[in-house]
């Protein structure tokens, strides 16, 4: 059984179509890159999984359970971690307090140990544990957003544009840490990205979206080598 199964998903915002018939699966321990330009439907797909938007058509199953009608807090308690576009840390809270918020669904006794694990992935956050999140650099805030999503010990981690606005060296480092996290925690990862080359380099499979519909799917390595894909979506 797939970890996540999306079938015929249609998300609308009044007359505007966010997604139109999107279908794909994600297995445990697998990374799938959801790629496409701004407005392609990537964020709409993630928000539908999390219960942030309603959808008139389609079905979303997590471990075989239908997520329709569940609130975001209920979806997250079922094992979904989410790092939103733009990071959206709590700027007035410290790094440690932001992580505490991420672990609110866990038993209190687990939170300190879990925080230390996050600090192991992102040592820079440990150095800045008492610092206000709003004073961090963009790369550090992205690390914090990912760490906060991991505090709940999810089995599915969804990342919305984690490379956005970051220097290439920081993007590369975040990619290395994501690979380390997935390997150590056997996470399923759904990575929504405009940076298609980077996303596909981290993923096993890719799903290319265009104006709300799937244009192409396949093994990530094959998509990277496809001349049409390279020309249309990778800027090559």
pLDDT digits (tens, 9 = 90+) for 49-86: 999 999 999 999 999 999 999 999 999 999 999 998 87
- Rounded to an integer, the average pLDDT of 26-34 is 95
pLDDT digits (tens, 9 = 90+) for 149-184: 999 999 999 999 999 888 898 899 889 988 998 888
CATH superfamily of 1-79+154-236: P-loop containing nucleotide triphosphate hydrolases (3.40.50.300)
Measure Cα distances from 101 to 48, 109, 183 in Å.
Answer: 22, 14, 25
Q: What pLDDT does 110 receive?
A: 87
193 CB contacts (<8 Å, ≥6 apart)? 33, 34, 35, 42, 159, 161, 162, 163, 199
Arithmetic mean of pLDDT over the chain: 91
Q: What residue segments make up the domains of the chain, in order of their start?
A: 1-79+154-236, 83-153
Q: What pLDDT does 235 receive?
A: 60
194 CB contacts (<8 Å, ≥6 apart)? 35, 36, 37, 38, 161, 164
| Cα 38 from Cα 2, distance rounded (Å) | 28
With a cut of 90, say whether residue 95 has pLDDT above it. yes
């Amino acid at each position: 059984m797939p970890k996540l199964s999306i079938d015929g998903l249609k998300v609308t915002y009044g007359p505007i179509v966010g997604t139109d018939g999107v279908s794909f699966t994600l297995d445990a321990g697998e990374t799938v890159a959801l790629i496409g330009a701004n407005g392609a439907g990537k964020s709409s797909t993630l928000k539908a999984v999390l219960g942030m938007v309603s959808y008139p058509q389609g079905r979303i199953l997590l471990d075989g359970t239908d997520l329709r009608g569940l609130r975001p807090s209920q979806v997250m308690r079922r094992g979904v971690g989410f790092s939103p576009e733009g990071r959206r840390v709590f700027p007035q809270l410290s790094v440690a307090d932001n992580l505490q918020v991420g672990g609110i669904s866990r038993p209190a006794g687990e939170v300190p140990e879990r925080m230390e694990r996050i600090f192991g992935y992102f040592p820079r956050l440990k150095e800045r544990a008492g610092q206000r999140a709003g004073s961090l650099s963009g790369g550090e805030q992205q690390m914090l957003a990912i760490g906060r999503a991991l505090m709940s010990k999810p089995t599915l981690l969804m990342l919305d544009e984690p490379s956005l606005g970051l220097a290439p060296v920081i993007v590369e480092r975040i990619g290395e840490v994501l690979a380390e996290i997935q390997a150590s925690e056997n996470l399923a990862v759904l990575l929504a990205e405009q940076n298609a080359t980077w996303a596909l380099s981290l993923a096993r499979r890719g799903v290319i979206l265009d104006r709300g519909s799937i244009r192409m799917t396949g093994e990530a390595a094959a998509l990277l080598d496809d001349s049409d894909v390279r020309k249309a979506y990778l800027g090559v």
